Structures are given as structure tokens and as C-alpha cells.
Amino acid sequence: MFRKVVVGISGGVDSAVATLILKNKGFNVCALFMQNWDIKDEMGICTSDEDFKDASEVCKKLNVPIYYVNFVKEYWNEVFSYFLKEYESGYTPNPDILCNRFIKFNYFFHYAREYLHGDAIATGHYARTSFGSYLENYSDVKDLMMK
């Protein structure tokens, strides 16, 4: 069964609620903040700095450890550059889809497993799985092979 769940926390309400729900369900929860953008706006502000402060405050109140990882280079190379190329060609790609594919379910997932030793990841985004709302129907691959 899952021992440790790494929650992708953004500083927003959805990921904060996901963290609270998992903690209240008895999971060992830690949070991981991904910085995917680092360019300052015209006022000289990088909003990801404020997002990290908000996420840290939520984690402090929930007594959940928070970690930080910088995926700016990966986001630029695998999401934003493609977005610009397609946009210049007359298409309107959705960068969120590419971010999910390349960043969240690749780099984030592997970082959570390898460096934070998480058994599962969660986000504040809605997803439907065959594992059930709280992973209650999960079976380890080893368990499935024994059946």
C-alpha cells in the first residue's frame, strides 16, 4: 500500500485542498513546488516567487514538509519552445497538455519517486483512476502477478 504521497503544490486552492484531504485520510504527505517559469513581468516581479511563499504558508499550517525543484530549463525546452514554434506556424497549441506530459508526469513524477521516495503523486487537478478516489482499489504489481 502507499506509504508516502508527494503532492504537487502550486500555492493555489486546489493543490492546498488536495494536500489537506490526503493528510486527513492518513497518508504520509509531503509537498513539492515546481518552478517552471522565472521571467519577471514588466513590474520586475516573478509571480512564482509569490506562489512559492503561498505554498510554503499552506504547508506550514498543515504541518507538511515542502520541497522546491526548478524545472525552468525543461519547461522552456520541452513546452514553451514548441508552443512558440506552433504559434508562429498559425496553430494555437495548449501548453498545459505539454506541461502535463513532459513536466508533471515525467520530470515531477521521477523527481518525487527518486529524490523524495514517494510511492504516489497527487495534484489539485481532477483525475479519474481505477484505483478509487483515495487509492483504495490499488494493487501492487507484485500482488497482481501472484493472482
* Alpha carbons 138 and 104: distance in angstroms, whole number: 21
pLDDT at 49 exceeding the cut of 90? no
How far, in whole angstroms, is CA 34 from its chain's centroid?
A: 7
pLDDT digit string (tens) for 14-23? 899 999 989 9
Q: Where are the domains of the chain?
A: 4-146
So what's the pLDDT on residue 53?
94
Class of domain 4-146: alpha beta
Phi/psi at 127 (5° precision): -150, 145
pLDDT at 145 exceeding the cut of 60? no
pLDDT digit string (tens) for 58-94? 999 999 999 999 999 999 999 989 989 998 999 988 8
pLDDT at 130 exceeding the cut of 70? no
So what's the pLDDT on residue 141?
47
